[in-house]
């Protein structure tokens, strides 16, 4: 049996394209806009988290984690 699973194919099932257009038109295509805030709020509520911080990449998340841990270059 040969089944092909598409890699990284976006699903459009609702208003996604409209929301992307709103984000781009509002100047928030790379995060830190109203959609990011809504997603953070939803995650905080869903997981009873005190604070959720979303990032645009794993690199940004690692840098944020280092800053929050007060890591310095000499830290091992």
Residues 6 or more apart whose CB falls under 8 angstroms from that of 64 comprise 53, 55
Tokens standing for residue 20 = 């992307």
pTM of the model: 0.70
pLDDT digit of tens for each residue in the chain (76 aa)? 888 888 888 889 999 999 999 999 999 888 889 999 999 999 999 999 999 999 989 999 999 999 989 888 777 6
């Amino acid at each position: 049996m040969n089944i092909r699973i598409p890699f990284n194919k976006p699903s459009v099932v609702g208003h996604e394209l409209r929301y992307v257009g709103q984000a781009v038109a509002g100047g928030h295509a790379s995060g830190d806009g109203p959609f990011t805030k809504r997603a953070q709020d939803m995650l905080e509520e869903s997981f009873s988290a005190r604070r959720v911080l979303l990032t645009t990449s794993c690199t940004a998340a690692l840098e944020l984690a280092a800053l929050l841990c007060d890591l310095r270059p000499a830290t091992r």
